[in-house]
Amino acid sequence: MNYLIALIFLAVLFFLMLIYLRLAAQFNIIDKPNLRSSHTAPIIRGGGIIFPITILLQFPVFGFNYSWFVAGLLLISLISFIDDVKPVSNSIRLFIHLLAVAMLFYQLQLFESPWYLIALAFFFVIGTINAINFMDGINGITGSYGLITLISLLYINSTVNFIDSNIILTVIIGLLIFNFFNFRTKAKCFAGDVGSVSLAFILVFFLLQLLIKTQNINYILLLLVYGLDVVSTIFFRLIRKENIFEAHRTHFYQFLANEKKMPHLMVAAVYGLAQIAVNFCLIAFPISSLTSLLVILFIMGMFIVILRFVFEGFQRLIKNADVE
Average pLDDT over residues 255-282: 96
Q: In this structure, how many other beta carbons lie within 10 angstroms of the beta carbon of residue 7?
A: 11
How many angstroms separate the CA atoms of 229 and 300, rounded? 11
Angstrom distance (rounded) from CA 75 to CA 257: 33
The mean of the pLDDT values for the chain is: 93
- Answer whether residue 323 shows pLDDT above 50: no
Partners of 31 in beta bridges = 43
Three-class DSSP labels, 242-267? CCCCCCCCCCHHHHHHHHCCCCHHHH
pLDDT tens-digit readout, 47-94: 999 999 999 999 999 989 999 999 999 999 999 999 999 999 999 999
**pLDDT average, residue stretch 314-322:** 78
- Asked if pLDDT for residue 209 goes beyond 50, the answer is yes
User: Looking at residues 26-34, what average pLDDT do you find?
Assistant: 83
Interval 279-316: pLDDT, tens? 999 999 988 888 999 999 999 999 999 999 999 999 89
Q: How far apart are CA 316 and CA 308, in angstroms?
A: 10
Residues 6+ apart with CB under 8 A from 127: none
Confidence of residue 324 (pLDDT cuts 50, 70, 90): very low
Does position 37 have pLDDT exceeding 60, yes or no?
no
pTM greater than the 0.85 cutoff: yes
